[in-house]
Amino acid sequence: MEPVLSAAQPSTTPGVTPPAAPEGQFGDFDFIVVSNRLAVDRVVDEHGESAWRRSPGGLVTALAPVMAKADGAWVGWHGAPDETLEPFDESNMRLVPVPLSAEEVELYYEGFSNATLWPLYHDVIASPEFHRTWWDSYRRVNERFAVATASVAAEGATVWVQDYQLQLVPKMLREARPDLKIGFFNHIPFPPLEIYAQLPWRRQVIEGLLGADLIGFQRPSDASNFLRCVRRFKGYTIKSQQVYVPADEATPAYVSRAEAFPISIDTASITELAHRPDVIERSREIRRELGDPQHILLGVDRLDYTKGIGHRLKAYGELLEDGAITVEDAALIQVASPSRERVEQYRLLREDIEGAVGRINGTHDTMKNTAIRYLHHSYPVEEMVALYLAADVMLVTALRDGMNLVAKEYVAARTGNTGMLVLSEFAGAADTLRQAILVNPHDIDGLKAAIVSAISMPKVEAMRRMRLMRRQVVQNDVERWSQAFLNALQSGSPTHGD
Ligand code: G6P
């Protein structure tokens, strides 16, 4: 990779003012999280005033206490193109917005991140597109994130970079600020070498990641895929999970490590909601509104081709065809939250899924009952937990998924140990939720059998399984995950001197 800018030389892109360069060499913050999206959402109140609210996701919840304790800052894009915002404080942290032009949203975010890397890293379920203009934009934007981070990091600060949108940031940071402790976590799968090899910039991306002292992955298989790629495309020495990165003009030799740290959820807050009387009442209302069927099945996904929604609908439609279930006995609720709607593959997927729902409902609905209640919306977490409580069976049929936190949330919400989870073996969650009914979603007959077995499982057996899964999710929450990663980052092996 070409030398990157130092913190004192921000990149310039037409239409976007880069964050100001620091006065001195160091910034003020000891702990910095860097992710494509900032940890806050913009909300507009009834008077039309806009304000910021902490995002509801598990990552933000887990890191908020660390932020408050450690003088923390979060660096990320605030979600609006062509808008430059000054850093501000909210929820006990400094928020550092990184601007993106409309063109960069198209090339870096929709293009390279979500139409090159996303399909490539998810086993090419959709075809990745390779465009040099997208790559150029990805590099430029990664550079801007690195500059913004370097400008707020105190001497010796810990920086934790998140996810596939920012894989070049670790190396850029190491070159600009060798004093920093740098972690990286990949929330999505890392593909097998034979697939990763397609990427025209495969060497540069590996170099970018190796800038981190510790690279975290969801599953052990992701870490070993990555290490195989390091060996093949860089030829570095690897001992167990340590990579010996030799010196170059910009950096002395050091050791980087690649390990699995399966992410989890904020179990306590889901459990608390599951006990709240208004949430419980809402779950009863959902059941009533569906005509009180014997079985409610639930799917909750971003509308993404990795989630296997089409496979799930096919299996469900065939069960209705076969008469194994009827619309009087069973209802499927499918929440499909809108996602990346300007990316072509996502538009096509929406047409497919909505066509399939229409065909199944058109064939099987009666005036009174509907086969699939399809909801193309996002909901607040209270409504999600009410849905989890209303659902006898949760269907997670991803074709490839880094972890799948919906599976863990469902388990966390089932405080009475009832309900059953049908879980794809291609989701990271299958490593730990072993008592789910594990399925290969490509095997439609197998998926149908799994749905029938979930519906008809004897209560004692279902409760035994759910109890074990709940124990897993209670003991391994997202706070434990972040502590494990940050402890491993701090206790990393010292730089080797050769
Ligand atoms: C996945 C990715 C995240 C991403 C999220 C939503 O979970 O791992 O990095 O933020 O999807 O996607 P979006 O493109 O809306 O940020």
Asked if 154 and 285 sit in the same domain, the reply is no
Nearest residue (by CA) to ligand 1, atom 9, is 163
Q: List the one residue out of 139, 106, 208 whose CA is nearest residue 114.
A: 106
401, β-bridge pairs: 427
Say if 355 falls within a structural domain: yes
| 3-class SS of residue 336 | strand
CA separation for the pair 37, 193 (Å, rounded): 28
pLDDT per residue over 130-189, tens digit each?
Answer: 999 999 999 999 999 999 999 999 999 999 999 999 999 999 999 999 999 999 999 999
Please give the pLDDT value at position 20.
43
pLDDT tier, 24 (very low <50, low <70, confident <90, very high otherwise): low
8-state DSSP, 497: -
Direct distance between the N- and C-terminal alpha carbons of the chain, in angstroms, rounded to an integer: 22
Please give the pLDDT value at position 128.
98
pLDDT per residue over 358-376, tens digit each?
Answer: 999 999 999 999 999 999 9
Catalytic residue chosen out of the listed positions 187, 213, 266, 311: 187
Average pLDDT over residues 195-211: 98
Is the pLDDT reported for residue 127 higher than 90? yes
Residue 251: exposed, middle, or buried by beta-carbon count in 10 A (0-12, 13-18, 19+)?
middle
Say if 344 falls within a structural domain: yes
Asked if 179 and 306 sit in the same domain, the reply is no
- Could you confirm whether 364 is annotated as catalytic? no
Say if 13 falls within a structural domain: no
Say if 2 falls within a structural domain: no
Asked if 226 and 318 sit in the same domain, the reply is no
Say if 369 falls within a structural domain: yes
Asked if 188 and 331 sit in the same domain, the reply is no
Residue with tokens 């981190």: 212
Asked if 41 and 90 sit in the same domain, the reply is yes
In terms of residue numbers, what domain contains 310? 267-476
Report the 10 Å Cβ neighbour count for 53.
11
| 3-class SS of residue 464 | helix
Asked if 226 and 362 sit in the same domain, the reply is no
Asked if 37 and 153 sit in the same domain, the reply is yes
pLDDT per residue over 433-484, tens digit each?
Answer: 999 999 999 999 999 999 999 999 999 999 999 999 999 999 999 999 999 9
Measured CA distances, 67 to 79, 153, 494 (Å): 21, 13, 26
Report the 10 Å Cβ neighbour count for 416.
11
**pTM for the structure as a whole:** 0.93
CA separation for the pair 55, 373 (Å, rounded): 27
pLDDT per residue over 228-274, tens digit each?
Answer: 999 999 999 999 999 999 999 989 999 999 999 999 999 999 999 99
Average pLDDT along the chain: 93
| C-alpha angle 331-291-454 in degrees, rounded to nearest 5 | 35
Measured CA distances, 459 to 161, 308, 328, 462 (Å): 44, 28, 22, 5
Say if 16 falls within a structural domain: no
CA separation for the pair 360, 372 (Å, rounded): 8
- Residue 138 CA, ligand 1 centroid: distance in Å: 16
Testing ligand 1's pocket by substitution, the residue of 302, 341, 405 carrying the most ligand atoms inside 8 A of its CB is 302
> How many domains are there within the chain?
2
Asked if 299 and 251 sit in the same domain, the reply is no
Asked if 69 and 182 sit in the same domain, the reply is yes
CATH number of the domain bearing residue 299 = 3.40.50.2000
Contact 437, 430 (CB under 8 A): no
Asked if 138 and 271 sit in the same domain, the reply is no
Atom of ligand 1 nearest to the CA of 165: 9
Residue with tokens 């076969």: 322
**Percent share of the chain, pLDDT over 70:** 94
Asked if 297 and 399 sit in the same domain, the reply is yes
Please give the pLDDT value at position 7.
37
Around ligand 1, the residues with Cβ closer than 6 Å are 37, 163, 187-188, 339-340
Pairing mode of beta strands 214-217, 181-185 = parallel
Testing ligand 1's pocket by substitution, the residue of 33, 34, 35, 36 carrying the most ligand atoms inside 8 A of its CB is 36
pLDDT per residue over 384-439, tens digit each?
Answer: 999 999 999 999 999 999 999 999 999 999 999 999 999 999 999 999 999 999 99
User: Crossing angle of helices 381-390/267-275, nearest 10°?
Assistant: 70
- Listing DSSP states for 413-430 in one string gives H-TTS--EEEEETTBGGG
- Could you confirm whether 187 is annotated as catalytic? yes
Say if 382 falls within a structural domain: yes
More reliable by pLDDT, 202 or 5: 202
CA separation for the pair 176, 11 (Å, rounded): 13
CA separation for the pair 303, 316 (Å, rounded): 18
Atom of ligand 1 nearest to the CA of 35: 9
